């Protein structure tokens, strides 16, 4: 589940891991920005600023490795409890990212997608978000999914409410409600299943992130905080994923 330190894998490429054996969809809990900054005797907001550089590196590496999708936990529905000054900076940083990373997004062929609530985000952020979404909509590369004001329980509650409304209106039978019905109404309905969940910062929890989608995901955790998460760490996580036997509740033939 966890990394094995900086020497776990010396190779800076995955030529020996076929594309089909790599995770199609990687979800990442980008934890530890504030702690990293405090350890550097910097304001917490500097951790978020440095974390953006890691996001750029990860998205570029995912494109290089032909990963179908990566979902980054940018802002949880619980993060609104943080100090207003930090929230204001996060909104400014998000707006800045959406503007300044457009060239990278287009050059890399990334297709931006945003999941989560929109109603609590500032209008200026929504304007830049929609502009970048529209610009990148037809890009052929990795889908870069930003989870903003997102919570797994909130998503499942929304889906449950939608299904209940359809049943009440007579457009959906109760007997027709199954896992496929729920999955088709999630924010991630058009994405591959999450194969690998990466968490930086060392905490052993999923923090209300993609609760339905990670049911059978492999989990890889590193003690490193997000601003110090490296390309090599990303490659190590993928290589470790490739070494595991995924049973999905069943058994392999030789077991």
Is 138 annotated as catalytic?
A: no
Residue 179: alpha-carbon gap to chain centroid: 22
Closest residue by Cα to residue 131 from 150, 149, 151, 114: 114
Is 7 annotated as catalytic?
A: no
Strand ranges across the sheet with 111-115: 111-115, 143-150, 69-76, 25-29, 196-199, 218-221
Closest residue by Cα to residue 205 from 86, 36, 47, 76: 76
Given 3, 16, 31, 233, the catalytic residue: 31
Closest residue by Cα to residue 211 from 226, 192, 197: 197
Give the number of C-alpha atoms closer than 13 A to the C-alpha of residue 148, restricted to the C-beta side.
Answer: 21
Given 79, 154, 208, 242, the catalytic residue: 79
Which residues are catalytically annotated? Answer: 31, 79
């Amino acid at each position: 589940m966890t990394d094995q330190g900086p020497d776990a894998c010396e190779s800076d490429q995955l030529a020996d891991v076929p594309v089909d054996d790599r995770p199609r969809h990687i979800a990442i809990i980008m934890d530890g920005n504030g702690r990293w900054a405090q350890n550097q005797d910097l304001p917490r907001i500097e951790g978020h600023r440095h974390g953006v550089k890691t996001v750029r590196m990860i998205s570029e590496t995912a494109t290089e490795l032909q990963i179908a999708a990566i979902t980054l936990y940018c802002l949880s529905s619980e993060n609104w409890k943080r100090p207003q000054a930090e929230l204001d900076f996060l909104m400014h940083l998000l707006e800045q990212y959406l503007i300044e990373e457009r060239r990278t997004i287009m050059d890399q062929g990334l297709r931006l997608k945003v999941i989560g609530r929109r109603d609590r985000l500032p209008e200026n952020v929504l304007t830049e978000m929609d502009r970048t979404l529209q610009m990148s909509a037809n890009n052929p590369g990795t889908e870069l999914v930003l989870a903003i004001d997102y919570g797994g329980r909130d998503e499942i509650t929304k889906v449950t409410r939608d299904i209940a409304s359809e049943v009440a209106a007579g457009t959906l039978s109760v007997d027709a409600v199954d896992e496929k019905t729920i999955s088709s109404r999630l924010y991630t309905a058009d994405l591959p299943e999450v194969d690998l969940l990466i968490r930086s910062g060392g905490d052993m929890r999923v923090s209300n992130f993609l609760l339905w989608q990670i049911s059978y995901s492999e989990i890889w955790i590193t003690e490193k905080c997000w601003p110090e998460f490296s390309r090599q760490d990303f490659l190590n996580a993928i290589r470790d994923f490739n070494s595991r036997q995924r049973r999905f509740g069943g058994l392999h033939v030789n077991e």
